[in-house]
Amino acid sequence: MPTSKAATGAAKGKNASPAQDPSVSVGNGGELHQQAGAGQPDLTTNQGVPIADNQNSLRANRKGPTLLEDFILREKITHFDHERIPERIVHARGTAAHGFFELEKSLEKYTTAKILTEIGEQTPLFTRISTVAGGAGSVDTPRDVRGFAVKMYTKEGNWDLVGNNIPVFFIQDAIKFPDLVHAVKMEPDRGFPQSATAHDTFWDFISLTPESMHMVMWIMSDRTIPRSLRMVEGFGVHSFRLINADGDSTFVKFHWRPKLGLQSTIWDEAVKIAGADPDYHRRDMFDAISAGAFPEWELAVQLFNEEQADSFPFDHLDPTKLIPEELVPLEVIGRMVLNRWPDNFFAETEQVAFCPSHIPPGIDFSNDPLLQGRLFSYLDTQLSRLGSPNFHQIPVNAPKCPFANHQRDGHMQMQQPKGRVAYEPNSLANDSPRENPATGFTSFGADESGAKGRVRAESFADHYSQARQFYLSQTAHEQAHLASALVFELSKVDHLHIREAMVGHLLNIDEDLAQRVANGINLDKLPPAPKPAAPVQDLAVSPALQIIGKMKDTLEGRMVGILIADGSDKKSIDAISKRVAAEKATVKIIAPKVGNIKLADGSLLKADGQLAGTPSVMFDAVAVILSTDAAAMLGKEAAAIDFVRDAYGHLKAIGIDEGGQALLQTAGIDPDAGVIEITAPDKFIAAAKTRQWDREATIRTLA
């Protein structure tokens, strides 16, 4: 297959999908190019230079590094990075905490980095988890990717492992990042929607970008509506290199795995949580750390060499691809614990600056073209957002090891360098910092050859195989959720040709998925599928890509709400509370009013939340313990009816006594296996550890 180049000079409409604009042509790597037609201006730089290829960065060769001389890339990303101040353009809404990383297995065979070789050493760190699309004032629970950035203050300098809760990305080349974010952000003529992808500009861009199809499967899955930030995975996304003492290189991918396991909400629940508590995830993290239930993740690595990489049925340098665990197993090497909330949100969570270019000796970069652009972009962003090249002096950003150089002055310079020497080499100051070839950072001496150009490796051309693998690897419930998410999103798109184009892409992923979505958006017939730039492979399914199929059998870290009122039975409340606490979960008492509730035995119990302001969407399971009189009273209260209806509709376990059963009857709920008498607390606890997935088909129409 020839190298994918810009389609400049290609006949208009070559390989274009009939469902797409005839001025769109398909490059050999599968990327779509829109060429200027009659009345349309040429795309140019800010200096008026016409651009021949807006899809690919300038690279040393087909699979080589991106070149600094690419003025088009630099101008485009520089302008994008400086569009807004001071809020982050993406990842504006974040939650962060201090903690430590502890190495449990040495990688000395592969790297000289001390953080990965000194077993038992606890390295301080600061971790920030964020949404991507929304502004700082948006809600916590939209369908969105979560950023997962970790700043480790190692003995050899800061290491920023900056990734997401999804192992792949939308685009293959950093030059497209401004276009992606412009498409997903609020539409500029109307200022909405906020933190949402369900609109025309996003899906228009996606429909013209086949390389995004794998990521689309992930963002439409339950991965993007997590139950808690403590229950998300983190990924470094890119391949990096580890360099050992002999100068040998091994490729590595980094994975953070939550101790509590994965858990997500369902869509209706996520929407209602946003209204009930816009700060749901932030509050959850704060409460867990305050209670001493410190969030914890394992750090695992996938290690492989060049020969192994060449045997993969995909290119590991392509950031739209992942390496299935079944192909290269994960090796757990350490753990991260978050044990301290920031003292000041602005000073730390807002001012922290992550840069993928911050790495210690023994770790190096790969030629992933998205990573190559990020190495420039993140530093450039900090200069705009924090206002100075001295942002590293802000305490949360400062290394905890000694640092010294000859960089001087500048806005917000807080240090006071002494002496007459501010350069190296010099012969005037014996105590001034000098380079150290023995222990200093060195780059891997990779051989690079070939003709430079705006090219994309032919191995990047397969855009559908891993998207198909992801979809087919899901459980039936997760497939239905994914299809329904696509129906919801595309139903918000006004333009029919965009909806049709997306269904055409889905045909290249899975015909059943395409048909389900087509039915959901009321298409009379399936549109034609665009011709793939590379044959679609049937890759082996990977159960590791599921959430439901690999959920941990635990209630730890979850929350159970108990609805009570005057006259409720103390013995039943205590029994359920004791069993939940034994599972390392939290109980919250909900009542029609806050303050003390008088129980049947005359004792008082303080309510943690008022019924109208604390709906069941806040909990993983609920129990309803009421007297018959209270049940009759609450049967006339919409908040109580919604409490049990939503719990049932969101597939949660419901524990009931006689009064609770009466309230369910008033709400029109037919009990199933997930509705359990509180006299069987063990059975209730077992049901509370998961959702009642068999219930879903009886109460909700899914695609």
Phi, psi values for residue 321, rounded to 5°: -120, 150
pLDDT of residue 13: 37
Distance CA 242, CA 558 (A): 37
Choice between 78 and 143, residue whose per-residue pLDDT is larger: 143
The residue with greater pLDDT, 548 or 26, is 548
Tell me the average pLDDT across 246-269: 97
Do residue 22 and residue 106 come from a single domain? Answer: no
Q: Which range has the worst mean pLDDT, 79-93, 101-115, 432-446, 508-522?
A: 79-93
Tens of pLDDT, residues 380-389: 999 889 988 8
**534-591: per-residue pLDDT in tens?**
999 999 999 999 999 999 999 999 999 999 999 999 999 999 999 999 999 999 999 9
In a domain, 669, yes or no: yes
Q: What percent of the chain has pLDDT over 90?
A: 81
Model confidence at 329, in pLDDT bands (50, 70, 90)? very high
My answer on whether 20 and 140 are in the same domain is no
Hey, is 675 helix, strand or coil?
Answer: strand
Q: Which residues contact 512 (CB under 8 A, 6 or more apart)?
A: none
Q: What share of the chain is helix, strand, coil (3-state, %, to 5)?
A: 30, 20, 50
Q: Are 202 and 486 in contact (CB under 8 A)?
A: no
CA 317 to chain centre: 19
Q: What is the largest CA-CA distance in the chain?
A: 91
One domain for residues 23 and 134: no
Give the residues across from 5 on adjacent strands. 455
User: Are 13 and 112 part of one and the same domain?
Assistant: no
Sign of the CA dihedral running 571, 573, 579, 581: negative
Structure tokens at 348: 């730390």
| 620 and 559 Cβ atoms separated by less than 8 Å | yes
Distance CA 519, CA 515 (A): 6
Report how far residue 336's alpha carbon sits from residue 100's, in angstroms, rounded to the nearest whole number: 6
Q: Could you give the 3-state DSSP secondary structure of residue 44?
A: strand
Residue 76 within any structural domain of the chain: no
Is residue 535 assigned to a domain?
no
CA pair distance 555, 667, nearest whole angstrom: 27
Distance (Å, whole) CA 27 – CA 519: 31
645 and 695 both lie in a single domain: yes
Whole-number pLDDT of residue 84: 64
Q: Cβ distance 208 to 495 under 8 Å?
A: no
- What is the CB-side half-sphere exposure of residue 137 using CA atoms within 13 A? 0
> Does 197 fall in a domain?
no
Give mean pLDDT, residues 178-191. 96
Domain boundary at 365, 393, 421, which? 393
Inform me whether the pLDDT recorded for 486 exceeds 70: yes
Query: Of the listed 28, 56, 158, 164, which one is catalytic?
Result: 164
Q: How many Å apart are CA 290 and CA 166, to the nearest integer? A: 28
Mean pLDDT value of segment 491-502: 98
pLDDT recorded at residue 19: 43
Of 393, 414, 439, which closes a domain?
393
* Half-sphere exposure in the Cβ direction for 701 (13 Å, CA): 6
* Tokens describing residue 618: 């806040």
User: Is residue 36 located within the same domain as residue 87?
Assistant: no
Mean pLDDT of the chain: 93
31 and 148 share a domain?
Answer: no
Lowest mean pLDDT among 55-69, 184-198, 238-252: 55-69
The model's confidence at residue 411, banded by pLDDT at 50, 70 and 90, is confident
User: Nearest to residue 185, comparing CAs of 41, 270, 83, 275?
Assistant: 83
Q: Catalytic pick from 33, 91, 281, 481?
A: 91
Does residue 509 sit within a domain? no
Is 655 a domain residue? yes
Q: Is the pLDDT of residue 137 over 90?
A: yes
pTM of the predicted model as reported, rounded to 2 decimal places: 0.90
CA distance to 505, 577, 593, 636, per residue, from 571 (Å) = 58, 10, 21, 26
- pLDDT at residue 493 in the model: 98
Give percent of the chain above pLDDT 70.
Answer: 94
Q: What pLDDT, on a 0 to 100 scale, did the predictor assign at position 210?
A: 98
Give, for 338, the enclosing helix (H) or strand (E).
strand 331-340
- Please tell me whether residues 140 and 11 are part of one structural domain: no
Tell whether the model's pLDDT for residue 600 goes beyond 60: yes
- 176-183 long-range contacts, CB within 8 A, separation 24+: 176/55, 176/209, 177/77, 177/80, 177/370, 177/373, 177/377, 178/76, 178/77, 178/79, 178/80, 179/54, 179/205, 180/205, 181/80, 181/89, 181/90
Q: What CATH number is attached to the domain comprising 302?
A: 2.40.180.10
Residue 572's pLDDT is 97
Q: Are residues 561 and 655 in the same domain?
A: yes
* Per-residue pLDDT, 257: 98
The answer for 157, left when phi > 0, alpha when psi is -120 to 50, beta otherwise, is: left
Once rounded to an integer, what is the mean pLDDT over residues 672-694?
A: 96
Using the 8-state DSSP alphabet, how is residue 33 labeled?
Answer: E
351 part of a folded domain: yes
Torsion over CA: 286, 288, 290, 294 (sign): negative
Last residue of some domain: 360, 393, 426? 393
| One domain for residues 566 and 695 | yes
What pLDDT is attached to residue 538? 97
pLDDT classification of 5: cutoffs 50, 70, 90: very low
Specify whether the CB–CB gap between 259 and 298 falls below 8 A. yes
**How many angstroms separate the Cα of 692 from the Cα of each of 23, 114, 123, 317, 648?**
49, 46, 41, 40, 9
Q: Which residue has the tokens 């892409």?
A: 505
Q: Quick one: pLDDT at residue 31?
A: 66
Residue 421 lies in a domain: no
Question: Does position 50 have pLDDT exceeding 90, yes or no?
Answer: no
- Rounded to the nearest 5°, which phi and psi values hold at 681? -65, -35
Out of 165-179, 336-350, 392-406, which region has the weakest mean confidence (pLDDT)?
392-406
Number of domains in the chain: 3
Residue span of the structural domain in which 569 resides: 553-699
Is residue 164 among the annotated active site residues? yes
| d(C-alpha 699, C-alpha 691), whole Å | 14
Which pLDDT band holds residue 30 (cuts at 50, 70, 90)? low
Does the structure show a pLDDT above 50 at 661?
yes
Alpha helices for 291-361 (secondary structure H): 306-311
Q: Is 90 in the same domain as 35?
A: no
Q: In terms of domains, do 109 and 7 share one? A: no
Name the token pair of 459.
């191995």
How long, in residues, is the chain?
703
566: domain CATH number is: 3.40.50.880
Burial 353-371 (b: 16+ CB within 10 A, else e): bbbbebbbbbbbbbbbbbb
Query: Using the 8-state DSSP alphabet, how is residue 50 labeled?
Result: B
